[in-house]
Amino acid sequence: MALTPGTLLNKRYQIESILGQGGMGAVYRALDVNLAIPVAVKENLFLSEEYARQFQREANIMASFRQNNLPRVVDYFTIEGQGQYLIMDFIEGEDLRKRIERLGVIPARDVVLIGAAICDALTYLHNRQPPVVHRDIKPGNIKITPSGDAVLVDFGLAKVMEGNQNTTTGARAMTPGYSPPEQYGTARTDVRSDIYSLGATLYAALTGIIPEDSLARATGKTELTPLRELDQKVSRHLADTIEKSLEVEPEDRFQSAEEFKEQLLIEVENLAELSRPHYVVAPPPGNGSAEEGEQQPMKRGTGPKVPSAAKKVNSPHRQPKKRIRWLPLALLILAGGLAATFILRPDWANAVMASVFVTSTPEPTLDAVKPTAQNTATQTPPEPTALPVVVEPTEILTPEPTSETQPTNTPIPITPQLGGGTGEIAFASDRTGSMQIWSMNSDGSNQRQLTTVTDGVCQPAWSPDGMTLAVISPCKQKRNQFYEGTQIYLLDADGTNFRPMMKNSPGGDFDPSWSWDGTKIAFTSLRNGTAHIFYYDLVEGTLSEVSNSPSADFQPSWAPDGKRLAFVSKKNYNHIFIMSITGEDRMQFSTNGNVNDLWPEWAFDNQLIIFSRSKESQFYPWLLGLNYEDRGSEERRIPILTSGDTDPKASASLSPDAKWIIYESWPDGRNHDIYIMDRDGYNQKRLTTDPAFDFDPDWRPLPIANTQ
């Protein structure tokens, strides 16, 4: 169970707040009462032999760090029967992933200085005896402090290289786009693996785009998009330097972090001005720093000054690409033969060191879809055209009538008593004898019937502007997967104007999911014999098939950037996958296992995806969450298992502000009702108590308020 503010831990560390919550425990801000300084506390509540040993090894690795760009462990202890605890420097600021989201792309000079600072940290790690390899460098694991320093955090996957051994000191895992190909299987990782991951991080910072996955490149399925195709303002030398670090073969990369840093610093004009032994960039906003608009890319003119010991790299595009050595490994992975070698990292705090989080706000992701020629590096993911309004807890927003004929019983969204998440909730219920759509305020009050369709309706899905519902009919009862013979219908928010989405539909269309701009609806269809995902363009009146695999694909959830879909793919078991809306870049999101995953829901932050999982032998699902950028890692249970909550959780839906979750549950094994909890699984409340079958809840976003 999470520690509460005010708790005095080990008679010294007074807990102040939770910074992050994970499946293995939480991360806290605390006060060291002996020294009167803030510290970060990371806990591990899973005390099995392997987890406990791995957690202690992380402490051992970090305990001796004494370098400006690395955090320090200042204490470590175990409380019998409760957990293990690391006490670390508390590092304020923002991580690089949030900075990329805030600015779109990072100025080239700042990218170079961040890269140089992390190279200094890597040089320190790689030159230790024995050397330490970080193995999880990515934007979320680089923290920019209020003084502008870059700090490398999260050593949960670190490896100590002792002799010629290939075993790991941390768990082996990979982050697609950032991990080198040798990290996907049993190949040895070494200091050059960190060079690759840092290069991928700098590539993403310069362009706002995650580079193509290394394994796909190693097997010839794709090529790295040259940096200057994404942004011609990037100098040729800087592009060549970063692309060299991203070579598939380790021997083609820089062989040391110091060599990589020398090439990066060629890019910096007036190098003599860097008088400090480390490299400082613009600090996060809110601490006396310049406004965002004042952060300009480095000037280009007569050319940068070059350190005398450095030589410019040759263009990596002139080097032959060697892939044949990776083909046997790739074939094994594609066949699933190496699945057992992936030991996924425990999600102690959403893959974040205690010093990473200042708040537990979900973090946005970068665009992982390969851009077209029109996608420049300055572009950021488009925002939906109808954003939900987030209302302060004391405010009630009443939509203005659109005409004199608007029904007087138009629902009025209110702020739930629990706080957070405005809008009302639609759900399906058979409480009047047949399945119909009902609506209620988000505190459970004012429950009212919206439809009276003879054949029954279910699966309500609100449009982004909150003015239209998509539903399916006929619907006699809830089904966890396929609804044969159904069609998708649209109706207005007050339950009127019930009409088919398409004029000609052969039936077997279900699982409607609106695009975040409100112009398209993705859905599952059985029209071709196998469940595949389609989308219908409401503006153009055109139908497109997205799925292109022999497996059954269903339950799509549209990403807020409008470019990707999360969905369920059924082979032997159901697992969550992600693909572009053209059916390309298909990748597995949820971890493998003899389990079934259902009902993916993509949060408005473009990052968090939640879904339900159940065992093979019985349908009693629990809820999991995982950030898009952390795909491949172990998912976070919501709430954590140690909370004691084991009630089933199905068909979950996130509130417009992504702070609250509504879901269907049946704790007594019979009566299905709608419940609400915060996004960490706490503050639970039952919203419906009717003995009928209530399911398929969905939040109604509020229409945009007129502030004129």
Instruction: Name the residue among 264, 299, 255 with its Cα closest to residue 113.
Output: 264
pLDDT at 161: 63
What confidence tier does 610 reach under pLDDT thresholds 50, 70, 90? very high
**pLDDT at position 58:** 73
Domains of the chain: 96-289+321-334 (1.10.510.10), 425-699 (2.120.10.30)
Tens of pLDDT, residue by residue over 541-553, are: 999 999 988 889 9
Give residue 242's identity as a one-letter amino acid code.
Answer: I
* pLDDT for residue 400: 33
What span, in angstroms and rounded, lies between the C-alpha atoms of 330 and 336? 10
d(CA 13, CA 616): 43
Question: Looking at residues 378-386, what average pLDDT do you find?
Answer: 33
Please report which confidence band the pLDDT of residue 28 belongs to, taking 50, 70 and 90 as the band edges: confident
Predicted confidence (pLDDT) per residue in 557-588, tens digit: 999 888 999 999 998 899 999 999 999 889 99
Cα–Cα distances in Å, from 533 out to 462, 526, 698?
19, 9, 20
Which range has highest mean pLDDT (20-29, 56-65, 233-242, 327-336)? 233-242
Q: Which residue has the higher pLDDT, 172 or 555?
A: 555
Give the residue with greater pLDDT, 244 vs 340.
244
Task: pLDDT band for 22, please (50, 70, 90 cuts).
Answer: low
Does pLDDT of 340 surpass 60? Answer: no
Strand stretches in 452-573, DSSP E? 458-462, 468-473, 487-492, 499-500, 509-514, 520-525, 532-537, 542-545, 552-558, 564-570
| Degrees to nearest 5, angle at CA 679 with 675 and 680 | 105
Report the pLDDT value the prediction gives residue 589, as an integer from 0 to 100: 93
Q: How far apart are CA 437 and CA 484, in angstroms?
A: 19
CA distances in angstroms from 679 to 625, 642, 661, listed in the order given: 9, 16, 6
Tell me how far apart the alpha carbons of residues 640 and 621 are, in angstroms, rounded to a whole number. Answer: 14
**Mean pLDDT of all residues in the chain?**
77
- Which pLDDT score is estimated for 330? 52
Percentage of residues in the chain having pLDDT higher than 90:
46
Distance separating alpha carbons of residues 556 and 601, to the nearest angstrom: 8
Q: First vs last Cα of the chain: how many Å apart?
A: 47
Residues 6+ apart with CB under 8 A from 306: 266, 312
Distance CA 626, CA 334 (A): 23
pLDDT of the residue at 385: 31
pLDDT tens profile 254-265: 999 999 999 999
Helix (H) or strand (E) holding 320: none
The DSSP 8-state label assigned to residue 464 in this structure reads T
CA distance 307 to 298: 18
Q: Residue 364, SS3?
A: coil
pTM: 0.47
pLDDT over threshold 90, residue 312: no
Identity of the amino acid at 249: E
Name residue 656's beta-bridge partners: none
Where is 685: in which H helix or E strand? Answer: strand 685-686
The letter for the amino acid at 678 is: D
By mean pLDDT, which of 129-133, 328-332, 355-359 is the weakest? 355-359
Q: Burial level of 370, CB count in 10 A (0-12/13-18/19+)? A: middle
- Confidence class for position 327, pLDDT limits 50, 70, 90: low
Largest CA distance in the chain: 83
| pLDDT over threshold 50, residue 493 | yes
**Mean pLDDT on 627-633:** 84
Average pLDDT over residues 250-279: 76
| Average pLDDT of the segment spanning 458-482 | 92
What per-residue confidence (pLDDT) applies to 176?
Answer: 78
Residues in the chain: 708
CB 439 within 8 A of CB 426: yes
Instruction: Write down the pLDDT at residue 299.
Output: 30
- Reported confidence tier of residue 162, pLDDT bands at 50, 70, 90: low
Give mean pLDDT, residues 70-84.
Answer: 88
- Contact predicate 545/536, CB 8 Å: no
Confirm if 339 and 592 have CB atoms less than 8 A apart. yes
Considering only CA atoms, which of 51, 41, 55, 46 is closest in space to residue 13?
41
Give the pLDDT confidence of 645-661 residue by residue, as tens digits.
889 999 999 988 888 99
Question: Is 80 exceeded by the pLDDT of residue 598?
Answer: yes
CB 589 within 8 A of CB 607: no
pLDDT band at 411 (very low <50, low <70, confident <90, very high): very low
Predicted pLDDT at 143? 92
Nearest to 478 by CA among 458, 460, 462, 455: 458
Distances (CA, A) of 210 to 100, 166, 230, 243, 515: 11, 28, 12, 13, 23
The answer to whether residue 293 scores a pLDDT higher than 60 is no
Phi-psi region of 38 (alpha: psi -120 to 50; beta: other; left: phi over 0): beta
Q: If you average pLDDT over residues 356-367, what whole number do you get?
A: 34
pLDDT of residue 326: 54
The number of beta carbons lying within 10 Å of the beta carbon of residue 552 is 18
Element (H, E) at 703: none
Q: How far apart are CA 513 and CA 555, in angstroms?
A: 8
Q: Answer whether residue 64 shows pLDDT above 90.
A: no
Contacts with 630 (C-beta within 8 Å, 6 or more apart), sequence order: 140, 175, 347, 350, 351
283-297, 305-319, 414-428, 682-696: which is most confident: 682-696
Higher pLDDT, 596 or 423: 596
**Mean pLDDT across the stretch 211-237?**
92
Q: Count the Cβ atoms, other than its own, within 10 Å of residue 532.
A: 22
Distance of CA 250 to the CA centre of its chain: 28
Q: Residue 307: pLDDT above 70?
A: no
**What are the tens digits of pLDDT across the range 412-430?**
333 333 333 357 899 999 9
pLDDT for position 425: 95
CA atoms within 13 A on the CB side of 288: 4
Sign of CA dihedral 687, 693, 695, 700: negative
What residues pair up with 449 in beta bridges, in sequence order? Answer: 438
Task: Write out 389-430 in H/E/C secondary structure.
Answer: CCCCCCCCCCCCCCCCCCCCCCCCCCCCCCCCCCCEEEEEEC
